[in-house]
Amino acid sequence: MCIAIYKPQDKTISKKTLELCYNNNPDGAGFMFAENKELKIHKGFFEFDKFYQAYKEHEAKKCVIHFRIKTHGKVDEINCHPFRINNSMGFVHNGTITGFGNDTFSDTIQFNESILQKLVGKWGNLALFQDPIVDLIENRIGWSKLIMLDRHGNHKIFNEQKGEWSGGIWYSNSTYKPAPKYPIQTSWGKYDWGRHYKNKQLTHSDSSDLIAQSVFKEGDLCQVIKPIKDHSTGSTIDVGEYVEIVKCNKDGSVDIITDTDDPKQPFVFYNVSTTRLMNHEFAEYWD
């Protein structure tokens, strides 16, 4: 699923926040910026200290940053973001794009080669900043988010409303947020865990409504703590997998999207109980 970040010039992201992003998305990091009418890309960092050492030199500049969690493709430098569309434009991606990706190359690489590079090759870089093209791409990528940056420093966030702004910086999901360290012991089955939300200790009996209304929201990246099964298809999601919330329902359940073994068929699970999910934005503790 990953996290993509847009940082305007002279805005600062703390080392602690960047390290949290890396720890939550540890399959490769990278960043890009424009300088002297050139697009500079630094990527292939598999240790946080090496990433931060490279990034620190450029932290005052307008930057686009990416920390990866593998869905499709190998964990290697080739599959690390950002990617070049051409010599003067690059992008990063958070999410999964239906119909692309295999065991070797990520869905992002194949989407770039099949769609973005062909669009730019035919109509030029400005095509990706035009409203009709933006609408087409946003509809094609579904719940995914993209950040484009060119060599002049122009940027565009696709599906911006599905991420969030904090301190003047845009994050594609909530895995940049620290979890408050207030462990609570509860017993909710084999995978015991607890929450602390706005100084309120939640018990199993009083948490359902508050969690549904306040804790989980569209676009959140969550980890599965109890297996999820779709009884109509027999499809399952195992403990430890990452999913994205695409809808919060009035009954307190959520709809989520995940990958299947077939990259052409990412699957939506409907009416999932929030007790089966762990939200990175809040404190969750396992026994």
Tens of pLDDT, residue by residue over 114-170, are 999 999 999 999 999 999 999 999 999 988 999 999 999 999 999 999 899 999 999
Tens of pLDDT, residue by residue over 191-216, are 333 333 333 333 333 444 434 444 67
Indicate whether 235 pLDDT > 90. no
Pick the closest to residue 158 from 168, 148, 170 (CA basis): 148
Tens of pLDDT, residue by residue over 87-120, are 999 999 998 888 888 889 999 999 999 999 999 9
Strands (E), the chain: 3-7, 29-35, 38-45, 63-67, 83-86, 89-94, 145-150, 155-158, 164-166, 169-171, 196-197, 200-201, 221-224, 228-229, 236-237, 242-248, 254-258, 267-272, 277-279
